[in-house]
Amino acid sequence: MRESMRGPVGGERLAAWPPVNIPLASRLFVERRDEGDWALDRWASGWWLSRPSPKRQAMRRQQRFVAQVVALGETLHGLSQTELLAQARAAAERAFVTGQAQAGVRALALVREAARRTLGLLAYPPQVYGAWMLVSGHLIELDTGEGKTLTAAIAACVGALAGVPTHVITVNDYLAQRDAQKMSALFGYLGLRVGVVHSGVAQALRHVEYAQDLTYCTNKDVVFDYLRDRVNARGVHSRAQLTVRRLHGQVHSQEPLRLRGLHFAIVDEADSILIDEARTPLILSAAREAGEETRAYEHLLRVAASMQAPLHYRLVEPHRQPELKDEGRALLEDLAREMDARDEHDGDTGPDALMGFWRVAWVREHYIVQALRALHVFKRDQHYVVHEGKIVIVDEFTGRLLPDRSWEQGLHQLVEVKEGCKISGQNRTLARLTYQTFFARYLRLSGMSGTLREVSRETAGVFKVRTVRIEPNRPSRRVTLPPRLLPDQPTKHHAIVDDVRERLAVGQSVLVGTRSVRASEDISAALTAAGVPHQVLNARQNADEAELVARAGQPGMVTVATNMAGRGTDIPVAPEVLARGGLHVVLTEWHESARIDRQLVGRGARQGEPGSCRTIVALDDEVIDKHGGTTLKMLQARYGGGPWPEHAMAWLQKAAQGAAESHNAAQRRHTLKADHHMRTQLAFSGATE
């Protein structure tokens, strides 16, 4: 068994299949072993794997490979289904295991022919080459609208035909079901069984779905199913050992293990899953009853509300995280002494007795900081919404509701009390894992997104995978209109209304992108006051998301939406709108990452269609206010409230987003380091996650 193999094109070195030191037949968890958290190793891998290839050389390589696939495909029309399937299995196995270019050409040509027969879709050159890069274990940057669904399906077919359990991982339930259904005819023609795992699939049936040749699933579900397997088989390292222990009653859970291992993953919206969601560890927990904790949390909030800034605490930028000062700690110590004295005097049972944390300094300080976060950091309609009497977290990057998630360490309960909701019990942690650690365990990891170049060094350092840019099938015809920087929110809203009216007057449809629910509602109110009909898509109105998005490209349509990144639903633009300039996208606020801005702008002018975009931001936008720093002060001193030249706006944008992304990257590194440290301690004690 070789430790490495030559890449299919360009001489890249790929991970061997299967990697050395992993006895597949005996190990219970078939996966790549953790390599540790070495900063120097991450830096070296990131530098080496993120080196860009010369564009001309990369284009020649892509064209040469695709030309061979197309030429071979012309000779396959006369094959019967049986002949095609037999040849596809043999070629797929050679291509996946050896990485030989010629085997890849044949495997892709055969699967491409099957897609033509079943779906009526003949994969374009970017889709063909993108599929091969996925099979080879790369991340690919493929522009919005270039056909990621078919690209992933072709690559998944090659993996599954090679006999490798394949996971196609998407960002939400809708996309997992939709993509599996759209490609079902192709999979059936090739004799492949397809499983689908999402929040609606019963827990007892999930092992059946993962047992299929390939499985479409969401990132959240696959990680939590993996953690459940780890908890159910804690301390067991082989299937034989698990069977013996179950026979002797030494394993409490009789639930069958769900996953067959982490073999081959194709991650859709890879930057969203691998980067944006990597700042928070995923925690498998068991709910506990709330009991009498409500009074304790109410007391915490009262104490936190009585504290004064900057006397007792300060809010540390850029995310205004509370930090206690010596005066604040002294105040808490005085309160703790008063409670002890009161309890000794009359035996009163207050919230301190219920929780038992006031007598321990670090515990009371932790909960007070959480209470300060609940009061001053987490904002309604931005970080969460109140839905049917419950606190529901809003995904910061996609604007989606996350009803099955909760904040840990008392924060969720404190926000519930703050909003007058029924309190839920704190959860008992059973297992935890970060996305970085989980996805790095796949024997072969690949993924795709429209925006990956900005994070190529980080993904290379953490996951040891190279990012490849796939050029679009047709050149972009997007028209970028001059950006505008306004002094405040009211002025910005007025400018947005004017821009929308101007685009409607020429016959374009308009998509207005916002960062938060509240921002979308503010702009909606401005459009309503101006008499402009429109539809709103945010965390409050997401039930008919696909239908709302499908209408966004129709004549006269204006859609106000929270961050469209990762929604994965195409916006079909009506012919009469295309004739008048296509879909017009308005970016109303810079995001913390320039990738998210590009994702929003990429909703228009797809596949060589006409389209336009304009950026309209204000100096009091959150990202500018928090991260502008000295650059903002210097430019304000020179240009005042505006108008600013484009180069000054570009300078401010780069400075603000650079500072925000640096902070987020540091947070991801801290999360990964903490996860590695915790796993090291658990391994030392003989436990697992």
Known binding positions for ATP:
127, 145-149, 570
Q: Provide the annotated binding site.
A: 127, 145-149, 570
Q: Please report how the helices 39-49 and 456-463 are oriented relative to each other, as an axis angle in degrees rounded to 10.
A: 130
Tokens representing residue 109 in the block: 């040509």
Distance CA 318, CA 329 (A): 23
Q: What are all long-range contacts of 653-658, with beta carbons under 8 Å and residues at least 24 apart?
A: 653/590, 653/594, 655/627, 655/628, 655/629, 655/631, 656/590, 656/623, 656/624, 656/626, 656/627, 656/628, 656/629, 656/631, 656/632, 657/590, 657/591, 657/592, 657/593, 657/594, 657/623, 657/627
Q: How far apart are the first and last CA of the chain?
A: 30
The H-or-E segment that residue 583 falls in is: strand 583-587
Residue type, position 381, single letter: D
Residue type, position 218, single letter: T
State whether the Cα torsion 106-112-272-263 is positive or negative: negative
CA atoms within 13 A of residue 639's CA, in its CB half-sphere: 19
CA atoms within 13 A of residue 572's CA, in its CB half-sphere: 7
CB of 653 closer than 8 Å to CB of 627: no
In the block, residue with structure tokens 């540091």: 666
In the block, residue with structure tokens 């506990």: 288
Residues 6+ apart with CB under 8 A from 498: none
CA atoms within 13 A of residue 155's CA, in its CB half-sphere: 36
At 520, give phi and psi (nearest 5°): -65, -35
CB of 85 closer than 8 Å to CB of 190: yes
Q: Residue 19 to residues 14, 110, 563: CA-CA distances in angstroms?
A: 10, 27, 39
CB of 122 closer than 8 Å to CB of 148: no
In the block, residue with structure tokens 């000794």: 344
Beta bridge partners of 139: 447, 467
The total of other beta-carbon atoms located within 10 Å of residue 673's CB is 13
CB of 483 closer than 8 Å to CB of 617: yes
State whether the Cα torsion 393-173-435-152 is positive or negative: negative
Beta bridge partners of 478: 611
Alpha-carbon torsion angle 94, 98, 100, 106, nearest 10: 20
At 514, give phi and psi (nearest 5°): -130, 165
